Chains A and B, each alone.
Chain A
Amino acid sequence: MTAPIEFDMPDVGEGIAEAEVLEWFVEVGQPIHEDDPMVQVETDKSIVEIPAPATGTLLKQCVPAGEVAKVEELLAIIGDPGALPPEHAEPGAASPAASPAPARVGVPVPATTAHRGAALLVAASNPAAPRRRPMASPRTRRIAVQRGIDLSTLIGSGPHGRILESDLGDQPSADGSSGMAAGAAPAARAVAGRANEVVELRGLRRSIARSMTEALSIPHVTEFREVDATNLLAARTALQPTFEAGGVRLSVFPLLLKAVMRALAIQPSMNATFDAATATLIKHAGVHLGMATATDDGLIVPVIRDADLLDLTELTHEVERLAARARTRTATPEELTGGSFTVTNFGSFGTWLGNPVIRPPEVGIAGFGRISEKVVAVDGKPVVRPVLPIVVAADHRINDGAHLAGFVNAVAAAVAQPLLLLS
């Protein structure tokens, strides 16, 4: 019997620490060939198929569909069919010790909450099987009991996945009943046909929820501005024929990105990421522009890498390419991480302006509303002009109102004088 191969969750992209298992293409006990698709996972922003690392029989799906696999966590075991634990024939009769010690594929660095998926798998398939203890100190466990929180449902944020007291948050009891049956509020009266739908957040939505909750810790300072867009529109009109000759439609958006990059060059503390835990700011050498993109599944922010090195044509192509990749959910994890500043264009929804939310660990975000004709005063006379609403939010820990105003001034100046963008 050859030793089974343990396959760890691979690193599916820079900065991606975990992925949700969407679907196993191979059932336990089925044969599988090397490089055949084995499992589909969804990272924060993309869906990735992971191929089998070897030919053999799938002995174990270590992380069931719907659960989150951490990078380097044990994902699958592949080996001889003879090594199948007997539990597959008869639950509760497993003898894992009978098979030879598995060879480990991937980096044998301790994974974090490796036990969680496995524990839930065990619980689902065999209620009598042992459950590993959630990693938590006695104090944390005691508080969890008092609050009726099942620690096995949590993923710890502490080292090696340890559940910390702070992870318990103000979370109320899981089922609203534990230990408080007598004093609990009566169950809502159910009216036929009006049952509420309970939706467990998955994949992208869950990731957005987490990221936006994290963003709550950022003290936002926000500035609004309306800018005359006459020259901007004129510039686009002037450039359009050249672009169309190249088969590309030039929209205002790449010009706005150029304006933002000009402002970032003037105010480099906006082109940065902040680690609050260590109170360190990284000012990025290059501009990696996130562009908020609405998709059917939710907001995705592909990142234009080193956008400051691209000319307008290249930038336009990159915007088109990444937007398409985002909408089809085919962007690679590398294309979805590592941003240093984000631009959102809610004008396309008809929105005048909104309060954009900074995406941690970035420290700023610019939003552009819809360009619409307005009556403005020019030389003391009412004149109708196309007006672009601009909003920029900054992390007040890093930049103050004065810095922000400097940044917005630079954007506004570039919009008013688009020739600056071509420099």
Chain B
Amino acid sequence: MVVGEMPEGVDLLVVGGGPGGYVAAIAAAQLGRNVVLVDADGEDGLGGICVRVGCIPSKALIELASHVHSQSAWHGRGGPAGAGTVDLVKFQDWKRDVVGGLNGGVRGLLKRAGVDVRRGWFRFTRPDQGALVTDPDRPPTHLQFKSCIIATGSRPVELEHLPFDGVRIVSSTETLELSELPKSVAVVGGGYIGLELGTALAKLGSAVTIVEALDTLLPTMDAKIGTLIAEHVKELGVEVLTNAKVTGDTGTHLQVDGSNGPVELDVELVVVAVGRVPNTDDLGLEALDVAPGPDGRLRVGTDLLVTPRVAAIGDIAPGPSLAHKASAEGHVAAAVLSGHSELFDPATIAAVVFSDPEVAQAGLTAVGAEEAGHPAARATFPISASGRARTMGESTGFVEYVYDQSTGVVLGATVVGPHASELIAEAALAIEMAAHLDDLAGTIHAHPTMAEIHHEAALVALGRPLHIPGPKRRGSDGGAA
């Protein structure tokens, strides 16, 4: 530091305006801290990937696709005939309104909380200090902080032999900005992002091929889920290539080495969705004397601290790269750095996939429960037995509860089916509260609702199934009672 670079004092600095950073900023302000939040895009960046080019826009697209796609089915049930074409230009206008509204909402919340939001790239230069570059042609501002929360998030992984060009080979970000529907699309990656985008584009009318390197879609989940989803997307006309690796692209054809030998896919657009990489490479972490692990993430414990005054949250910290996980960590980091005893130690971080049908999971899987030392058992209730699902024209999917056989305590749940993303919340609460199956069975659920599946699955686990056949009882065949 040279003379004239007098650092500016900051009480609590948040780096990144995404769902981790902005929540941490509000939480810290509520704890009485004076907060400065820096984001590369300033106020425009508030909400982060999630609000601007991730969760929110993708759900808007998926919603549009569902409406378009369901029209023909509802026509068969007496609805009007679907007519007209999809207008993605109009959709993008509406989506911008949605995103703009949410971004503006976060701005307002931070303003009200007294958080000072600034634009710029931040790099650490000392354990308690860093440089904020707003304009590359001008000297940076030096910020000296008492506490700092790093929440810089992640970016899409780029494949070496398939570099993004922003036109033909794109990430999820550009896909969500499409103003014209491609006739044919190859989606590289059958994880949740690829599956969501591929399904939505197929419903809108694109010819979609999903290329997955492993042997099932959603490879991180139970294989039966991937198989069920694969069957369903095939009904939408999606081609699913598993155990298939992309080897290159000719500019018109995507080259794939599949289980039946090499093939070339003639597609207009290639969407690469093979994961995300943490933004930890350009943070000046050496000034903190810390280095990310091989996966690019910073090693933190349950206090989320990287150094006594710096915490890391969200996609750059261990755990799933999910907005709600980052937000939850934001609360903890703000409290820990403000001298409060807090831990990030959730029983579950629910994961949801907006595929068709939706998939949601919370808590332990049966395998995970056994590994954790529980005598685990499972109880399943099919969506086809739900009256409410039938009225929506849905019958695919199931809810599966995992519980400790010796105690009856709920350990985990998977929901596959309509509104699974909403339904999982009840299971997550049950898991966090260490609820017993009796608690779920003893809670009266409104009828007719999808949520009844929780109650029904608990009854199955308790050996008292209601709307699926239980064990045959004496007398049920007309014999002596």
Tell me if chain B binds chain A. Answer: yes
Binding site for B on A (CB under 8 A): 73-74, 96-97, 110-112, 114-115, 118-119, 122, 129-133, 135-138, 141-142, 145-148, 159-162, 178-179
| Interface assignment of B370: CB less than 8 Å from any CB of chain A | yes
B293: chain A residues within 8 A (beta carbon): none
Q: A96 to B370, Cβ gap below 8 A?
A: yes
Q: What are some 24 contacts across the A-B interface (CB < 8 A)?
A: A110-B406, A110-B409, A114-B404, A114-B406, A115-B374, A115-B404, A119-B373, A129-B373, A130-B372, A131-B372, A131-B373, A132-B374, A136-B434, A138-B346, A141-B343, A142-B342, A145-B342, A145-B345, A148-B341, A159-B436, A159-B438, A160-B407, A160-B434, A161-B407
- Is there a chain A Cβ closer than 8 Å to B158's Cβ? no
Answer yes or no: B408 CB below 8 A from chain A CBs. Answer: yes
Q: Which residues of B contact A (CB under 8 A)?
A: 340-343, 345-347, 370-374, 404, 406-409, 432-434, 436, 438
- Chain B: which residue is nearest A110 at the CB level? B408
Task: Say whether A97 contacts B436, CB under 8 Å.
Answer: no
Contact B373–A118 (Cβ < 8 Å): yes
Complex interface: chain B residues within 8 A of A179 (CB): 341
Whole-angstrom distance between the alpha carbons of A73 and B404 in the complex? 13
Chain B interface mostly: loop
Contact call B434/A111, Cβ cutoff below 8 A:
no
Are A141 and B345 in contact (CB-based, < 8 A)? yes
Contact of A160 with B373 at beta-carbon distance under 8 Å, contacts A112-B407, A115-B407 already known: no
* CB < 8 Å neighbour of A160 from B340, B372, B408: B408
Partner of B372, one of A111, A132, A138: A132
Task: Evaluate whether A130 and B371 lie within 8 angstroms (CB atoms) in the complex, with A138-B432, A141-B345 already known.
Answer: yes
* A115 surroundings in chain B (CB, below 8 A): 373-374, 404, 407
Q: Which residues of A contact B342 (CB under 8 A)?
A: 142, 145-146
Once bound together, how far apart are the Cα atoms of A115 and B346, in whole Å? 19
What 5 additional pairs, Cβ within 8 angstroms, besides A129-B373, A132-B374, A138-B433?
A110-B406, A111-B406, A122-B373, A137-B433, A137-B434
Q: Which residues of A contact B345 (CB under 8 A)?
A: 141, 145
Q: Give A378 Cβ to nearest chain B Cβ, in Å.
A: 67
Once the chains bind, are B432 and A160 in contact (CB under 8 Å)? Answer: no
State the CA gap A110–B347 with chains docked (Å): 21
Q: Which residues of B contact A145 (CB under 8 A)?
A: 341-343, 345
User: How far apart sit A147 and B340, CA to CA, in the bound complex (Å)?
Assistant: 11
Q: Which of B340, B372, B373, B407 contacts A110 (CB 8 A)?
A: B407
How far is the CB of A285 from the nearest CB of chain B, in Å?
33
In the assembled complex, which residues on chain B have CB atoms less than 8 Å from the CB atom of A122? 373
Q: Are B408 and A130 in contact (CB under 8 A)?
A: no
| Whole-angstrom distance between the Cβ of A158 and the nearest chain B Cβ | 9
Closest Cβ neighbor of A159 among chain B residues: B436
Contacts of B347 in A (CB 8 A): 133, 138
Q: Which residues of B contact A97 (CB under 8 A)?
A: 370
B340, B370, B406, B433: which contacts A74 (Cβ < 8 A)? B406
Which residues of A are found within 8 Å of B438, using beta-carbon distances? 159
